[in-house]
Amino acid sequence: MKILPQHPRAESIRIREEIVKHCGSGAVVLAGLIAHGRGEAFDYLLGEKTTENAFKAIRSAASTLLLAKHSVISVNGNVAALTSKDIVKLANTVGSKIEVNLFYQSEKREKAIKQILKESGAKEILGLGEAASANIPEVHSDRRRVDSRGILKADVVLVPLEDGDRTEALVKMGKTVIAIDLNPLSRTAQWASITIVDNVIRAMPILIEEAKKIKNEKPKNLQKLAYEFNNSGNLGKAIGLMTHRLSELAEKGIYIPEVTEIHDHLEKRTFSLEEDTD
């Protein structure tokens, strides 16, 4: 589909097309499209930009990843479709492993995601085929299989876009979980140790930049940045920002001058028609 750059929602449509394309390649499943739509709805409420609040979470996440002994970035279909190059860049910057971890697992899907990651420069990819043979106790599903070289032994796991049951399971195993999730009300957002309430597409490049900036800081300074963060307060602020934005919009009304002009014109025409028929 040709997307005109001047279209007011050009970027959003471009991202949507990318997800749909990878639905064709088999990397993204239909449930992934629904998850994307849910994310888009929350991005509307957020104003489709990275907030100062999200930036604070990103800084804490960057420090936590740099302090980790064994960090892993968990990749699913949507993540591979939307941000695979940045996943590889981040892994190289902070020294994380990359593990494919799917809710709806199939050989075809794994292959498609492996292909995307390889094309993006990933050298080592965990969690593929028989390598994902370790089980972790998950709350409402028995499907959680992870790689014993990756998520199973990780101290820090980054889960950009994850399901709540899995996040809960990881936290209950004692892992520090960093989530990127546009919905501050999701169980993932609530269970994670650090939740970046932002679009994964915007948050990933900032996370990489931030990690590069503070990479050579002393561990003491990194610890300060990592622990000065409170996730429950962070989520409260994210909800507050959405509420505030909605209140402002409700007060001033949604106003697009062109729409108002057209409606005024139609109204006048309708009334003059009524006058004519009298």
Enumerate binding residues for ligand ATP (CB under 6 A): 35-36, 38-39, 42, 82, 161, 163-164, 180-183, 186-188, 199-201
From 21-29, 42-50, 155-163, 221-229, give the range in contact with Mg ion by CB under 5 A: 155-163
Our finding on whether 162 is near Mg ion (CB under 5 A) is no
What is Dmax (Cα atoms) for the chain? 83
CB of 112 to ligand ATP, least distance (A): 19
Our finding on whether 163 is near Mg ion (CB under 5 A) is yes
Q: Which residue is nearest to ligand ATP (CB)?
A: 39
Minimum CB distance to ligand ATP smaller for 139 or for 262:
139
Q: Tell me the one-letter amino acid at 39.
A: G
Minimum CB distance to ligand ATP smaller for 150 or for 164:
164
* Contacts by 208-214, CB closer than 8 A, 24 or more apart: 208/86, 208/89, 208/90, 208/93, 210/58, 210/59, 210/62, 211/62, 211/65, 211/66, 211/90, 211/93, 211/94, 212/93, 214/59, 214/62, 214/63, 214/66
C-alpha 94 chain-centroid distance: 19
Three-class DSSP category at 174: coil
Minimum CB distance to ligand ATP smaller for 67 or for 170:
170
Identify the CA nearest to 165 among candidates 142, 182, 198, 197. Answer: 142
Query: CB under 5 to 8 A by kind: which of Mg ion, ligand ATP, none does 16 bind?
Result: none
Query: CB under 5 to 8 A by kind: which of ligand ATP, Mg ion, none does 186 bind?
Result: ligand ATP
Query: CB under 5 to 8 A by kind: which of Mg ion, ligand ATP, none does 199 bind?
Result: ligand ATP
CB-CB contact of 57 with 160 (8 Å): no
User: By the criterion CB under 5 A, which residues form the site for Mg ion?
Assistant: 163-164
